[in-house]
Amino acid sequence: MAAPGEYFSVGSQVSCRTCQEQRLQGEVVAFDYPSKMLALKCPSSSGKPNHADILLVNLQYVSEVEIINDHTETPPPLASLNVSKLANKARTEKEEKMSQAYAISAGVSLEGQQLFQTIHKTIKDCKWQEKNIVVMEEVVIAPPYQVENCKGKEGSALSHVRKIVEKHFRDVESQKVLQRSQAQQTQKDTSLSS
């Protein structure tokens, strides 16, 4: 039996009992001695193969820890990180969040924000210009952001953006119809069970 707070080797199998009498068992993936935090890799709660749950266990709230299989070998080296790729991803995500914040502060409608996100998934070159969505510096979509509000030089860019806008609003309408039918079914089920 190991007392809570002892050192745990990466790769060891441990079993813990929490102060709520919950039994946790898994493979140690990390242990931080100063904070007494143990990270355990456990079978996926979703049941999906090739997936795992990572549980963070505060050993101060554990009444019992048992080492089932102590792993004494040196753990494999950590995979190297592509720092420039991570920095680019962080920069891109920050720009997207700033764009969303700008749209909210400019008073853009929720429909406009949703359309912007839909377009941005397909065409990264889109930005806000006051309350207008500007796509590829060629197409401007003004409020209320319908197909007829798409303006630009006739051509493939304008045609493509119009198709995206059209599909977006078709999808939104389909979603509303689905939600209404589900709500009506729930109401029927509720009234039948009463």
Across the chain, mean pLDDT equals: 88
d(CA 168, CA 189): 32
Query: What sign results for the dihedral spanned by CA atoms 89, 91, 92, 93?
Result: positive
pLDDT, mean of residues 106-131:
92
pLDDT tens, 31-62? 988 888 999 999 888 888 888 899 999 998 89
**Winning range, highest mean pLDDT, from 5-9, 66-70, 139-143, 185-189:** 139-143
d(CA 192, CA 186): 10
Architecture of domain 12-69: Roll (2.30)
Q: Check pLDDT > 90 for residue 79.
A: no
Radius of gyration of the chain (CA): 26
Q: How much is the pLDDT for 133?
A: 96
Coil vs helix vs strand at 135: strand
pTM of the predicted structure, to 2 decimals: 0.54
Delimit the domains of the chain by residue range. Answer: 12-69, 88-182
Q: Which two tokens stand for residue 176?
A: 């509303």
Q: Check pLDDT > 70 for residue 6.
A: no
Q: Check pLDDT > 50 for residue 105.
A: yes
Query: From the CB of residue 62, how many other CB atoms can be counted at a distance below 10 Å?
Result: 18
Q: Check pLDDT > 80 for residue 3.
A: no
Strands 150-152 and 139-141: antiparallel
